Amino acid sequence: MPVATAIVNLDIEGPRISRHLYGHFAEHLGRCVYGGFWVGEDSPVPNEGGIRLDVVRALRALDIPNLRWPGGCFADEYHWRDGVGPREQRPRMVNTHWGNVEENNHFGTHEFMALCELLGAEPYISGNVGSGTVREMSEWVEYLTRDGDSPMVRLRRANGREEPWRVGFWGIGNETWGCGGNMRAEYFADLARQYGTYCRDHGDNKLYRIASGASDEDHQWTETLMRQLNCFGCEATPRTYYQGLSVHYYTLAGPWEAKGSATAFDTDDHYRTMLSARRVDRVLTGHSTVMDCYDPGRTVGLVLDEWGTWWDVEPGTNPGFLFQQNTLRDALVASVHFDVFHRHAARLVMANVAQTVNVLQAMVLTDGDALVLTPTYHVFEMNKGHQDATSLPVHLRAEHARRRVGDDELATLSVSASVKDGTLLVSLSNLDAEEPAEVSLDLRGGRIGEPRARVLTAGRLQEHNTPQSPDAVAPRPLDGVAVTGRGLALTLPPHSFVTVQAPMSLPD
Ligand code: AHR
C-alpha cells in the first residue's frame, strides 16, 4: 500500500480561493434548459414560474456562485430580443449547433434572471459576437442594468421588470476561433476591444468583461489577446477593455473521434482519463505564464469557463444533445480539477463546469419528474467549504503512488487544503483503481480539533446513480482517522475522494 505524506503549513497563507471557481454553465443544448431547468408554468413537475423546483433545491445545497448562459456555441446565434416579451409571441429559431431542434425562446432573459435569483447565483451572460452586432450587445447590457429612463429601460419595464438587475460577469463571444465565428486571434482581439468598449457600466453596475479565449494549450491565442489588450503609450491599462480572458479544456480518455462510453470503460481508460484530467494543470500554467509576461500584476483574470468530461452520448439519445452518464470516474476528474484550481487561485478567477443539468459532466440528471444527483454533484458539495477560503500550500511526498500509463506516469494521489472561519478543509483523491493509499497528514504551525472525514467511493469505478439506485455513489463518514503526534493519519480506499474537516487555531 503506498504510504504518502502531505505536509500542510497551517500558518502560511496562499491565495484566496474565489467561490467563482465553483461556477456553473447552462446552455440551450439538449435537455439542459428545456426539461432540465425549465418545464414551463403548466407542467405537472413542481415549478415556480416554469422553473423546476427539485433542480433548484438540489443546486442550492451546492452554494453555486454563478451560472453562465445561454452558451456555449448557442450564445453566438442567440438574439436576446427574441427571448423577451409575451412567450407565445416570441419568434422561433433553429438551434443549428445542437440537434437542429426548434427553439421557442420561452426561456429568455427574464426567466434566466429569475433562475439566478432562485439559485442565489450571480449571472454570467455570454454575449453574441459571432452573428450579433455591437449595438445588440450594448442594448442587452442597457436592458438589464440601466436605471432611470432610456429606450431599453422602457422596453424592460413594458416586459414587467421595473428595477434593473445587477449583472457582473459578461462574456464577449464564445470559442470565436471555432463555432463562434472561426476568427483569427488578431481579428478577434480588435473585436473584443470594440465590444468591450460598448458594453457600458450603467450607474453603479460594474461589468467584468470576459473575452472569448483559447482552447487547450493554444498559447498563441492568449498571447495575441494579451498583447493587443495592452495599449502602450496611451492611458489604457491592461484591463480597460476586458477584465478576464477565458480558456476551455475538456477531459477525454482518447481522441475526439473515439471518446468512449461514460460507463463501459476499463482500468486503462480510467488511467488515461486521469492523465487527461491532470493535464488541466499544464493548460492553466501555460496560459498564466503567457499572461504574466503582459500583466505581471495579475490585473486580468483567467477564466476556465468550460471544463469537464466529454464521453459518447448515451445509446439511443440524440447525438446533438450530449447526454452522458456520470460515474465515480467523473467524480475523480472533478476532485482533481479542484485541487489544481486551488493551486492556481492567484490568476484563476472563475471556472464553470460543463454543464449543470443533463449535458456532459452534469450535477443532476432528470428524467420526466425524476431527479438523480450524480457522483460529480457530491464532489461539489463535499468541497464547498473551499469557496472563498484561504488556500494552504500542500507539499506531497508520494513517490510510490504512481502508475505507468503508456509513455507517461500518473501520480495517483492529489491533495489540496484551505482554511475558512477557523475550519481546516483537506481534500484528498486516490486515483488508483486497485490500491488503497495510507496518508499521513503532517499539519505544521497550528493546532486542530476533532476531525470529521467523509468518503465518496463505490465497489466499482463504473458505479453511478439512477432513480432506482440514487445513492449507489454518495458520501459516507470515513472511520479510522487517527490523531498522531504530527497531525492525522488515514487510509484512502481505492478510487476514492475524501474530505477531512477540523477546527483549527494558530498559536498567539
Ligand atoms: O459545452 C458544449 C460545447 O462545448 C459548447 O457549446 C462549446 O463552447 C464547446 O465547444
pLDDT tens digit sequence for 386-444: 999 999 999 999 999 999 999 999 999 999 999 999 999 999 999 999 999 999 999 99
Q: Are both 332 and 358 inside the same structural domain?
A: yes
337 and 447, same domain (yes or no) = no
Q: How close is the Cα of 447 to the center of ligand 1, in Å?
A: 45
Residue 134 has pLDDT above 60, yes or no: yes
Per-residue pLDDT, averaged over 467-473, amounts to 97
Q: Same domain, yes or no, for 288 and 311?
A: yes
Nearest CA to ligand 1 atom 4: 72
Calculate what percentage of the chain has a pLDDT beyond 70: 98
Give the pLDDT of residue 230: 72
Residues 73 and 157 in one domain: yes
Report the distance separating Cα 246 and Cα 214, nearest Å: 7
72 C-beta closer than 6 A to ligand 1: yes
217 is a catalytic site residue: no
Mean pLDDT of 481-485: 95
Query: What spacing in Å lies between the alpha carbon of 491 and ligand 1's midpoint?
Result: 38
Domain final residue pick, 337, 353, 387:
387
Domain edge (last residue) among 367, 387, 407: 387
- Of 339, 358, 387, the one marking the end of a domain is 387
The confidence band for 216, taking pLDDT boundaries of 50, 70 and 90, is very high
Residue 1 has pLDDT above 80, yes or no: no
- Each residue's pLDDT tens digit, 51-85: 999 999 999 999 999 999 999 999 999 999 999 99
Q: Which protein residue has the closest C-alpha to ligand 1 atom 3?
A: 72
What's the confidence (pLDDT) of residue 23?
98
Q: Are residues 66 and 195 in the same domain?
A: yes
Same-domain pairing of 396 and 382: no
Separation CA 87–CA 98 (nearest Å): 22
- Ligand 1 within 6 A of 71 CB? yes
Give the Å distance between the CA of 181 and the centre of ligand 1. Answer: 13
How many independent structural domains does the chain possess?
Answer: 2
Read off the pLDDT of each residue in 321-328 and give the average, rounded to a whole number: 98
**Does position 353 have pLDDT exceeding 80, yes or no?**
yes
pLDDT value at residue 231: 56
Verify that 357 and 396 share a domain, yes or no. Answer: no
Q: What average pLDDT does this structure show over 343-353?
A: 98
Q: What angle do CA 432, 435, 439 make, to 5 degrees?
A: 85
Q: Are residues 280 and 414 in the same domain?
A: no
CA distance 12 to 23: 27
pLDDT in tens, 227-283: 988 755 455 565 678 999 999 999 999 999 999 999 999 999 999 999 999 999 999
**Are 167 and 308 within one domain?**
yes
Weakest mean pLDDT among 293-297, 325-329, 414-418 = 293-297
Q: 188-217 burial string, b = 16+ CB within 10 Å, else e?
A: bbebbbebbeebeebeebebbbbbbbbbbb
Q: What is the mean pLDDT of the chain?
A: 96
Concerning whether 136 is annotated as a catalytic residue, the answer is no
| pLDDT tens column, 2-43 | 689 999 999 999 999 999 999 999 999 999 999 999 999 999
Range of the structural domain that residue 182 is part of: 19-387
**pLDDT at 491 (0 to 100):** 98
